[in-house]
Amino acid sequence: MATNKNRQWLLKSRPEGMISPDQFQLAESEVPRLNDGEVLAKVLLLSFDPTQRAWMSMDTYIPAVNLGEPMRAGGIAQVIESRHSKFRPGDLVNSFCGWQEYVVFQPDKPKFVPVTRIPGHLDPKLILALSLTGLTAYFGMLEIGCPKRGETVLISGAAGATGSVAGQIAKLKGCKVVGIAGGEEKCKWLKEIGKFDFAIDYKSQDIGRELDRICPEGVDVYFDNVGGPITDEVLLRINQKARVVLCGAISQYNQKVEEMYGLQNYLSLVINRARAEGFIILDYLDRALEGLLKLTSWVESGNLIQEIDLQNGFENIPSTLLRIFNGDNVGKQILQLAEPPLPIRTNPAEQLIFRIMQKLSGLRG
């Protein structure tokens, strides 16, 4: 392995305003030799997430990426060499892989997120999507939004990875679900595939007028992915005891601090005795299995569609990050770097246990 080269995209400069591919630099180094307790894996799939914009520029819930280091990114990799007793060549693992072709993990000293083996019978693209944005939608909607049958649930950024799953979960809970997204094609996806009751195209329609027409009864749960003026319009239409799930505010991530949008209508939270609560999915990592069992069983039963927007090729990594800020993606943005070089290791006992646990989670409703 020591003769292999590892291509990487390093963070070259911190963005101010809109990110650009120029902020990354291509580098090549030797694939390192392993020490005891380490695992070498080939990166197969990379996840693209709006939070990477924050990781490029500042310390937030985790520290910023250092300049000159590979850009941080979630991903799926295949173990090709192991000096750790719990990992074997052929295993698929889910963790922060970074923008590089090979990654060395120290599973006993994980950095920010654990190194998790995923059962070999599951589709790695699906697991990558569900384990990041799927779980965000699941816990954000169910634990903070707490939707009740018959309530009206509104999602911004609704055709994206998190929004599309959050809306479908609210639908499964018996709610009237409305999505806000950019463009006719995305709104069509929401209604025809995502089974949302209504969709509003914020690029061509007046959101306030559409909300008054579609939801004269007001909004009980607002799952917010975008922030800014869209959220201000929604705040004017929340009901008493509404729950505002502050998942993210992508409309503001590329703004300079002095240009960030300040909400005008937040007093609506007071008047309506409503609750706005932010969360970070890392807080729910100890319940990840519970969420994944549920989400995968919904996908298998056809009750949840996880749309995946797949790009390819190492050279396209920086430009793929821009897709989510330009709104080019429908569903979860993933890039495939490589096919698994080894047969994927499956473990029939583990597969059986997963299936049984899925069934049990289904019985719990």
Ligand X SMILES: NC(=O)c1ccc[n+]([C@@H]2O[C@H](COP(=O)([O-])OP(=O)(O)OC[C@H]3O[C@@H](n4cnc5c(N)ncnc54)[C@H](OP(=O)(O)O)[C@@H]3O)[C@@H](O)[C@H]2O)c1
For residue 23, state whether it binds ligand X (rule: CB under 6 A): no
Q: Which of 69, 93, 95 is nearest to 81 (CA)?
A: 93
CA angle 118, 339, 87 (to 5 degrees): 35
For residue 247, state whether it binds ligand X (rule: CB under 6 A): yes
Residue 78 or 95: the one with the smaller Cβ distance to ligand X is 95
For residue 52, state whether it binds ligand X (rule: CB under 6 A): no
Among 38, 49, 91, 232, indicate the residue that binds ligand X (CB under 6 A): 49
As a whole number of angstroms, the distance between CA 47 and CA 239 comes to: 36
Residue 53 or 117: the one with the smaller Cβ distance to ligand X is 53
Contact criterion met (CB below 8 Å) for 65 and 352: no
For residue 145, state whether it binds ligand X (rule: CB under 6 A): no
For residue 133, state whether it binds ligand X (rule: CB under 6 A): yes
Q: For residues 216-243, b (16+ Cβ closer than 10 Å) or e, as one string?
A: eebbbbbbbbbbbebbbbbbebbbeebb
Span from 17-25, 113-121, 179-187, 268-276 in contact with ligand X (CB under 6 A): 179-187
For residue 75, state whether it binds ligand X (rule: CB under 6 A): no
Residue 108 or 328: the one with the smaller Cβ distance to ligand X is 328
Span from 81-89, 207-215, 326-334, 355-363 in contact with ligand X (CB under 6 A): 326-334
- Give, as ranges, the residues between 250 and 289 that touch ligand X (CB under 6 A): 250-251, 279-281
As a whole number of angstroms, the distance between CA 287 and CA 243 comes to: 22
For residue 124, state whether it binds ligand X (rule: CB under 6 A): no
Instruction: Quickly list H helices, 201-240.
Output: 207-214, 228-235
Among 162, 231, 268, 361, indicate the residue that binds ligand X (CB under 6 A): 162
Contact criterion met (CB below 8 Å) for 42 and 101: yes
Own/partner pairs, 200-206, CB within 8 angstroms, 24+ separation: 202/230
Q: Please report, as ranges, the residues that interact with ligand X according to CB under 6 A.
A: 49-51, 133, 136, 157, 159-163, 181-183, 186, 225-226, 247-251, 279-281, 324-325, 327, 329, 333
